[in-house]
Amino acid sequence: MEKIRQTILDFVEKEYKLPENVDYETFDFVEKGFVDSMGMVQFVAILEDEFDIEFSAEELLSNDFRTVGGLEKLIQKKVNEK
């Protein structure tokens, strides 16, 4: 799980450092402007390549995809299903 979280954080913090003491489980990196729509396309491609997974349209639109913790769990679930 640590590799998944680190991959997410590396991309999210590409432009800006996350605030100290942030709750990774609930931090909405999209709402807070850490990833814009063009960045999201790139982010999805990186995650799918890195973990050899594919996200459905439903998953991409889910609230889980917007938070570090939710995305981490979603990726872990998809990796375990392979």
| Residue 12 token pair | 């999210």
Find how far residue 29's CA is from the centre of its chain: 8
Q: Residue 74 in contact with residue 59, Cβ under 8 Å?
A: yes
pLDDT bracket for residue 57 (50, 70, 90):
very high
User: What is the DSSP-derived secondary structure letter of residue 74?
Assistant: H
User: Which residue range(s) make up the domain with 61?
Assistant: 2-81
Which tens digit of pLDDT belongs to each residue from 9-44? 999 988 788 888 989 889 899 898 888 888 899 999
Which tens digit of pLDDT belongs to each residue from 1-18? 799 999 999 999 887 888
**Phi, psi at 70, each rounded to 5°:** -65, -40
Q: Give CA–CA dist 77/82, Å, rounded.
A: 9
pLDDT of residue 64: 92
> Which CATH number characterizes residue 23's domain?
1.10.1200.10
pLDDT of residue 16: 82
Number of domains composing the chain: 1
Residue that has been written with the tokens 């790139």 in this structure: 42
